[in-house]
């Protein structure tokens, strides 16, 4: 028997359940400085909205009938490319995010997007 070839997967997108895909996509486009890359419908005529860039995994906003029910099991961590962490938090709040937690013992600030999906804003990355 020969050796099995190394098989692995590539992350191409993170799907985000939401009530309003266009609203979520607009917020995240502004937050991340990206654009809508496409819209498509599934076999049930549900329209999905994809945002991102060609060189990074996309976010795909997937409409679902139910609202958010509890704590996210997966969340995004983002960091400002310029400016301070607090400047970025304030910018995101102006875009429609809500401050959830800002505890001195943690280096991150927890925000929620307009539909309540939590994400963390980290300090700027160095190097």
pLDDT of 19: 95
At residue 127, does pLDDT exceed 70? no
pLDDT tier at 70 (50, 70, 90 boundaries)?
confident
pLDDT of 67: 82
What is the full DSSP assignment across 15-54?
EEEES-HHHHHHHHHHHHT-EEEEEEE-TT-PEEEEEE-T
pTM of the model: 0.88
For 59-85, b/e burial (b = at least 16 CB within 10 A) is bbbebeeeebeeeeeeebebebeeeeb
What structural domains and CATH numbers belong to the chain?
Answer: 1-65 (3.10.180.10), 72-127 (3.10.180.10)
Q: What percent of the chain has pLDDT over 90?
A: 73
Q: pLDDT (tens digit, 9 = 90+) per residue, 33-47?
A: 999 999 999 999 999
Mean pLDDT (the chain, rounded): 92
Task: Identify which has the larger pLDDT, 84 or 12.
Answer: 84
Q: pLDDT (tens digit, 9 = 90+) per residue, 14-32?
A: 999 999 999 999 999 999 9
pLDDT of 68: 82
């Amino acid at each position: 028997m020969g050796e099995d070839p190394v098989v692995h997967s590539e992350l191409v997108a993170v799907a985000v359940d939401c009530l309003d895909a266009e609203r979520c996509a607009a917020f995240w486009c502004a937050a991340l400085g990206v654009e809508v890359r496409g819209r498509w419908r599934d076999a049930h005529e549900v329209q999905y909205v994809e945002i991102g860039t060609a060189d990074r995994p996309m976010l795909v906003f997937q409409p679902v009938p139910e609202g958010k029910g509890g704590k996210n099991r997966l969340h995004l961590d983002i960091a400002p490319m310029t400016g301070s962490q607090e400047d970025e938090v304030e910018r995101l709040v102006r875009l429609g995010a809500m401050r959830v937690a800002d505890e001195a013992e943690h280096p991150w600030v927890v925000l929620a997007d307009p539909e309540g999906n939590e994400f963390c804003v980290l300090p700027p990355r160095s190097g």
